[in-house]
Structure 1
C-alpha cells in the first residue's frame, strides 16, 4: 500500500484517479425515484444526494417509509453500514427511528453542528441531563455520560420507546476534528478514533449496522466505511483493491468520497493501519486523558462540503429546509467527571448497559453548560459586531463612491459650460455690433 501511494504521489495522479472513479460511477444505471417524490423532497438536505431505490433504508412504522439513508454492504469484510445525511429538524425523529428499528448499537457522527457559519446537521442529541423527546415517532433520547478526547467525544445514550418503556443503550462516537470537505490532521488520529469504534464491538455482525453520518452522508462517511472495510481485508489476509472496493460501495450510495484529497487520505490511513497491524508496538498511542477540555461541535471547520455526486459531475445544491432557528433550547456540551471511572476500559460494552450507569449525573454540568453558553453568547456578539463593522464600512465606501461620482458629474457640467463660453461671448459682441450698425445706418 505504501508503494501504491508513493507511485500515485510521484505521478501527481490523485486527481486523475478520482476522475476515473467519477466517470465509472456516472455510468451506473441505478434509480432513486423515491427520493424525488414530491412528498419526500423536504426530507432531503441536498437536492443532488439521494439514496438509491434498491439500497435505501426504509422506516418500518409510519405512513411514509422514506429517510435519506442507505445500507452499504461489504460481504467479503462481513461489514454493513447505514450511511445517512445529517438529520434535519423535522427528520431527527426518523433518524432515531432508524437506529431503533435497525437495532443499531452506535451512531458515528463525523461533522460538527455548525461549520463555517453554516448549519450542517440538526441538534438531534441531548447535551445535558434534559432528555430530548421525539413525539412524532414516540422515542426519547437521554445522555448518561460522556468521555472527551482531543479529537473525538464518546457519548453514552439511552434510547427509550415511549409506549413500552423499553430502553436501548446506544454509543455516539463524535469525531470533532474532521474538517468539512477535507481530511483529518493525520491518519494516526483518525485510526485512534476508528479503533475506539471497533473496540466497542458496534461494527460486528452480531448487532445492527451502525448509523454513520456527516452532512450529506457521502464524503466523510464514505471515507470511514472504505478505510474500515479495507483494514478488515488486511487483517483477514483477503486480497483487495481500494479503487474497486470504492466502486462497489458506490453502487449502494452515490458519491462516496467527494474529493481527491479524501481519496488520498483513505489510502494513507489504510497504509498506516496496515503498518500498525504488522508492528503493534511501534505505534505510539494517540489517546489522551479524558480530563481534557471538550471539543465543541459548534466550532467552524476549514472548508465547505459537497463537490461531487455519485451519478454526475454537478455541484450539490443546498436545500433551505434546515434554516429554521436551531438556537432555541440548544446548549453547549458539558464535560463530565470521569476520574472515578479511570480504570474502565474505553468502549467496553457492559459499561453502557449497566443499570447503574443509566442515571449518572454530574453536578458540575450546570455550571459548565452556563459557562459554555456564555462563551457562545460572547462569540455570537463578536460575530454580530464584525457584521455591523463590515456593514458600516460598506455603507461608508458606497457613500464615498457616490460623492466621487457626483463631483465628476458636476465637473463635467462645468467643463461643458467653459468650453462654450468663448462662443457665447463672441456671439453676444457680434450681435451688439450688428445692432449698433443697423441703428446708425437707418438713422
Structure 2
C-alpha cells in the first residue's frame, strides 16, 4: 500500500495532475442531490458562519433540548473503519453555548480544534473555551467550562477541561487538542508534524467507538477538518489491511458534509501524510511526542495564548519529508491556480458578533498598526509660529482697509444725496414767490373787470 501511495503521488507530481484530480472530485460531488433545507430556515441562518457551508439534512446533528434543534454540525459515520466524527464550524458567539450542549448530549470525550481564533487579522472562531483559570459560563444552555490543566507542545496544545451541566450538577472531563500551526487554506509544516498531532489524539483513545464521536472543527469545518478525518480513516484502512482509494474515501465523506478538502494543497498533503503514516507503521518509529519536547505544562495558563503559533519548527521535520516539501515548492511555483475552490472564507468574512472581551487574548495575532507620524522638528516651530502671526496681521490689515474703503464710499454717497436735496431746496422760494405773485395778480384783475362791468 505504501509503494502504491508513493507511486500515485509521484505520477501526479510528474504530470502536474493534482488540479485535474481535485476537479474530478469536485465535479463528482457536485452531482450529489442532497438537501440542506434546515440550514436555510430564517431562524437558522444566523447560526451559520458561512452562507455556502451547510450540513445536509440527512445527517445533521440535532440538539436534544431547547426550542431550536439546529446547529451547523454533521455526523460522519464510517462503519468500515469503526469511526464516527462530528464535523462542525468554529462556534459563533451566539452558538458557543449550543456547541457545548452538543458535546454534552453526544457524549463526546474530545474536541479537536484545527484553527486559531484570529488568522491574518480575521476572526475565525469565537473564544468558546477559557484560557485562564476563570471559567466560562453559558447561561443560554446551562453549561460552564473550566480549564483545569494544559500541556503545550511545539505545534499544538492539549487542554483538560471540565464541562459542567449547571442544571444537573454533573461534570465531565473533555480533552481539547488544539493544533496551532496549521495556516488557513494551507497545510502543516510537514506530514511528520501533523502525524505527531494525530498520534497524540489517537493515544488518548478519544476517537474509538467506545466513547461519543469526537467534535472536530476549523473555521468552516470542511477544509482542515476534512484533511484530519481523511488521513485518520485511510491510516485505519492500512492498519486493518482494507483495500481503499483515497479519492473514493473522500467522495464518501463528501456525501456526509459538503466541500471537505478545500484546496489542491490540502488534497496533496493528505496523500503525503497517508504515505508517511504507512511508512511509520513498518519502520516501528516511536511516538515523536515525548515529555522532553513539552515546552510547558501544568497550571501556567499564560503560555496558551498561541503568541508564537506562526513560528517555524525545523526540528519537527523528519528527513523523509524533505523530498515531499521540495516537490511541493516546485509544484506551487509552476501552478498558480491551486486555490480555485476557496469559498467565501477567503474574503475575510467575520463572526457577526465579536465583542472585544472575546479577543483580548489574541491581539498579538492582529496585523501591526502603522507607526505614528514623527513629531515636527523643534527648529521648525518658531518659523511656523512667525508665519502664522504674519498671516494673521496681514489678514487684519486687509480687513481694516476694506472696512475703511466701504466707509469712504458710504460718506461720498451721502454727500451726493445731500447736494441733490440742497439743489431742490434752493429753487423752492422762487417757485413759492412766483405762485403767490400770479395768484395776487389774478385776483386783482378779477376784481378790476368786475367793477368796470357794474
- Normalised by the length of structure 2, the TM-score is 0.70
Residue of structure 1 in register with 2:252 after alignment? 248
Aligned to 1:41: 45
Extract unaligned runs of 5+ from structure 1: 333-372, 390-443
1:125 matched to 2:129: yes
1:234 matched to 2:238? The reply is yes
Provide the rounded CA distance (Å) in 1 between the counterparts of 2:131 and 2:137: 13
SS at match of 1:57: strand
Q: Which residue of 2 aligns with 1:385?
A: 370
How far off is 1:317 after superposition? 7.9
Q: Is the 8 A contact 2:156 2:180 kept in 1?
A: yes
**Between Structure 1 and Structure 2, how many residues are aligned?**
337
Tell me the CA shift for residue 289 of structure 1: 2.3
Q: Distance in 1 between matches of 2:93 and 2:63?
A: 17
Q: Which of 66, 72, 78 in structure 2 is aligned with 1:68?
A: 72
Q: Secondary structure at the match of 2:131?
A: coil
Q: Which residue of 1 aligns with 2:353?
A: 324
The corresponding residue for 1:277 is 281
**Matched residues in 1 for 2:56 and 2:167: separation?**
33
Distance 1:164 1:197, change over 3 A: same
Q: Are the aligned partners of 2:117 and 2:126 in contact in 1 as well (CA < 8 Å)?
A: yes
The Cα RMSD (Å) is: 2.5
Q: Please give the secondary structure, in 1, of the residue aligned with 2:226.
A: helix
CA separation in 1, counterparts of 2:287 and 2:131? 32
Question: Radius of gyration: which is bigger?
Answer: 2
Q: Which of 19, 25, 30 lines up with 1:26 in the alignment?
A: 30
Q: Deviations over 1:392-435 (max 9, x none)?
A: xxxxxxxxxxxxxxxxxxxxxxxxxxxxxxxxxxxxxxxxxxxx
In the alignment, is residue 187 of structure 1 matched against residue 191 of structure 2? yes
5+ unaligned residues in a row in structure 2: which ranges? 297-301, 312-338, 374-454
**Aligned 1:28-427 pairs, distance under 5 A:** 28-281=32-285, 285=288, 287=290, 289-292=293-296, 294=303, 296-297=305-306, 308=341, 315=344, 322-328=351-357, 330=359, 332=361, 376=363, 383-386=368-371
Tell me the CA shift for residue 153 of structure 1: 0.1
Offset of residue 299 of structure 1: 6.6
2:435 paired residue number: none
* Stretch deviating more after TM superposition (221-230 or 2-11): 2-11
Q: 1:191 touches 1:269 (CA, 8 Å); kept in 2?
A: yes
Report the CA distance shift for 1:72/1:251 in structure 2 as closer, same or farther (over 3 A): same
Alignment partners' CA distance in 1, 2:287 and 2:130:
34
The 1:298/1:124 distance shift into structure 2, 3 A limit, reads farther
| Residues 45 and 319 in structure 1, CA contact (< 8 A), matched pair in contact too | no
Q: What is the deviation of 1:330?
A: 4.8
